[in-house]
Amino acid sequence: MDAPTLQPKFLPSRNELGLVAVGFCGGQGKSGVDAAPMALIESGLVEQLREELEFNVHYDGEVHQYSDIMPKEDPDYRNMKNPRAVSAVTRKLSEQVYEHARQGRFVLTLGGDHSIAIGTISGTAKAIRERTGREMAVIWVDAHADINTPETSDSGNIHGMPVAFLTGLAKEDKEDCFGWIKDDQRVSVKKLVYIGLRDIDRGEKKILREHNIKAFSMHDIDRYGIGKVMDMALGWIGSDTPIHLSFDIDSLDPMWAPSTGTPVRGGLTLREGDFIAECVHETGSLVALDLVEVNPSLEAHGASETMLSVHLVSQKRENGCGRFSVGVGADIIKELRLKHSIRREIYAEAPLVRQNAYYQQYTNIAVVAGLAHIDPIYFGGRGLY
How far out from the chain centre does Cα 22 lie? Answer: 13
Element (H, E) at 16: strand 16-22
| Cα–Cα distances in angstroms (integers) from residue 47 to residues 44, 51, 126, in the given order | 5, 6, 29
Element (H, E) at 172: none
Q: Report CA torsion sign: 329, 330, 336, 340.
A: positive
Q: Report CA torsion sign: 165, 170, 175, 178.
A: negative
Report how far residue 36's alpha carbon sits from residue 29's, in angstroms, rounded to the nearest whole number: 15
Report how far residue 130's alpha carbon sits from residue 109's, in angstroms, rounded to the nearest whole number: 21
Phi, psi angle pair for 26, to nearest 5°: -75, -10
User: How many other CB atoms sit within 10 Å of the CB of residue 359?
Assistant: 17
Q: Which residues are catalytic?
A: 114, 142, 144, 146, 159, 248, 250, 293
- Please list, in sequence order, all residues whose beta carbon lies within 8 angstroms of the beta carbon of residue 376, skipping any fewer than 6 positions away: 269, 271, 361, 362, 363
User: How many other CB atoms sit within 10 Å of the CB of residue 266?
Assistant: 25
Element (H, E) at 318: strand 315-318
> Partners of 325 in the beta sheet?
316, 335
What is the residue-wise DSSP string for 183-212?
GGG---GGGEEEEEE----HHHHHHHHHTT
Count of H-run helices and E-run strands, the chain: 11, 15
Report how far residue 70's alpha carbon sits from residue 87's, in angstroms, rounded to the nearest whole number: 10
